[in-house]
Chain A
Amino acid sequence: MNINLTIIGQLLAFSVFVWFTMRFVWPPLSDALETRRKKIADGLAAAERGQNEQRLAEERAKDLLKEAKVQANEILSAAQKRANDVVEESKTTAREEAERIKEAAQADIEQEMNRAREELRKKLATLVVSGAEQILAKEIDASAHGALLDGLAERL
């Protein structure tokens, strides 16, 4: 076992390798590991945040749904009420209309009846007069008894 220059050679080679590792090998790898570690940590934090947000969103959605249901119910009942009102209103209007038509019709009928009666009365008077004329042609003067007969016809 000889001690010789190999020691110095090894020392130099060692120094060069350490220098190279320190300059070109360690920093990029160490940086990459550090960056990845940070990236993973960020990713985990983001996932956590996302989960939180999802939970919140779900809660909000639930609230919104509940609110919407309440609103829908309100709208529905309002609509129902309105519909009832409309039906009620139209019923009333219809009834009133019917009443009015009936009344008009009755008035018409009355009028017509009056007219018919008038006519009838007139015709009857004429008929009675003519009958009476024929019966009484010989004995009664139309002009002398006309006023009496007219008064009779009036009472019909």
Chain B
Amino acid sequence: MASEGALPTMEEHIAHHLSNLTFGLHPENGLGFAMTSTEAGEMGFWAIHVDSMLWSIGLGILFVLSFRMAAKRASAGVPGGWQNFVEWIIDFIDENVRGSFRHKNAMVAPLALTIFVWVFLLNLMDLVPVDLIPHLAYLAGVPYMKIVPTTDVNVTIGLALGVFILILYYSLKIKGPVGFIKELSGIPFQTNILVLKPIFWVINFVLETINLIAKPVSLALRLFGNLYAAEMIFILIGVMYSAGLMLGLVGGVLHVGWAIFHILVIPLQAFIFMVLTVVYIDMAYSEDH
């Protein structure tokens, strides 16, 4: 935060909004919360973004408990309001999974449901006015508070990593280690000349491995990039409010416009993440591709 008492400059304000509440072992200050972003950087890998974790876990718990409530009351009778809503989502997910996943697996549909609803809720935090909660937290003595977990690249990488592990697991389970390596080295280049074959295998293996790794990376960065950019624009619009009446009014209009546009982006990004996950696991299952 800026020097005590004085109003922060615009740069400081934006930087503040883009910093996570980091808890970790600082080489000089010991175990504790990072009070500046440089301190957070110095903590290295062995630090944790407490705000991202709390918001994401909180929203995740909200998701599982509210859906569990519907699941407990689930019956073949006439569904009530919340029950109906949950069933509508289940139906929607089920339809999508059936559309792109051609194998039998009891985990893919629940996985898709979790990703869709959870990522949706994480993204939804972006519609909460950018300054509101961070400022309340600041008043309560918490130096940083980033409430949209999907604007934290660690969160999206964590999700994508989970998907990547599943891709590897199912590839190995279905095709076996040999089959998996064969698949990675068999395409795209093929030859009939015996001498060239090993060379092609190596080239193919490198290319396909990059291809494989690109899957989780693109998953993580797509979600992060979309939400981070959107959050950034919300922050910039937020800055306009403090720049006089005229700019403030323009900012208000822009804010509403961007928020409406964002209503589209939030479910879309959650949906893309879900569909790609299902497709990737389907690819891990299939022998030919």
Contact = CB atoms under 8 A, between A and B. Distances in A.
Interface of B: 20, 22, 24, 40-41, 43-49, 52-53, 56-57, 60, 63-64, 67-68, 70-72, 74-77, 86-87, 90-91, 94, 106-107, 109-111, 113-114, 118, 152-155, 157-159, 161-162
Given A6-B53, A39-B76, A11 B158 contact: yes
19 contacts: A2-B43, A2-B44, A3-B45, A4-B44, A4-B49, A10-B56, A14-B162, A15-B162, A17-B63, A18-B114, A18-B162, A25-B64, A25-B110, A26-B90, A28-B72, A29-B74, A32-B74, A32-B75, A38-B76
A84 interface: no
A33 B98 CA distance: 15
Interface of A: 1-11, 13-15, 17-18, 20-22, 24-33, 35-36, 38-39
B49 A3 contact: no
B48 A25 contact: no
A5 B74 contact: no
B40 A22 contact: no
Contacts of A26: 71, 90, 109-110, 113
B154 A21 contact: no
Contacts of B86: 29
Given A2-B47, A28-B74, A18 B53 contact: no
B57 A13 contact: yes
A26 B47 CA distance: 34
B228 to A, nearest CB: 9
B71 A3 contact: no
A29 B156 CA distance: 28
Contacts of A39: 76
A6 B67 contact: no
Given A9-B53, A22-B110, A25-B68, 12 more contacts: A2-B44, A4-B43, A6-B52, A10-B53, A18-B162, A25-B110, A26-B71, A26-B110, A29-B70, A31-B74, A32-B75, A35-B76
Given A28-B71, A36-B76, A39-B76, A21 B113 contact: yes
A95 to B, nearest CB: 84
Contacts of B87: 29, 32-33
A35 B75 CA distance: 8
Contact of A13 (B53, B77, B94): B53
B48 A4 contact: yes
Contacts of A8: 158
B162 A11 contact: yes
B76 to A, nearest CB: 4
A2 B113 contact: no
Most buried by B among A2, A9, A15, A30: A2
B67 A21 contact: yes
Given A11-B162, A18-B114, A30 B109 contact: yes
B111 A5 contact: no
A27 B86 CA distance: 13
A13 B47 contact: no
B49 A17 contact: no
B74 A17 contact: no
Contacts of A24: 64, 68, 71
A15 B87 CA distance: 23
Contacts of A1: 153
A3 B154 CA distance: 6
A128 B114 CA distance: 153
A5 B47 contact: yes
Contacts of B155: 6, 10
Given A9-B53, A30-B109, A39-B76, A4 B114 contact: no
A5 B46 contact: yes
A144 to B, nearest CB: 140
Contacts of B110: 18, 21-22, 25-26
A5 B87 CA distance: 36
Most buried by A among B24, B44, B76: B76
Closest 5 CB pairs of A and B: A10-B158, A6-B154, A32-B74, A22-B110, A35-B76
B45 A17 contact: no
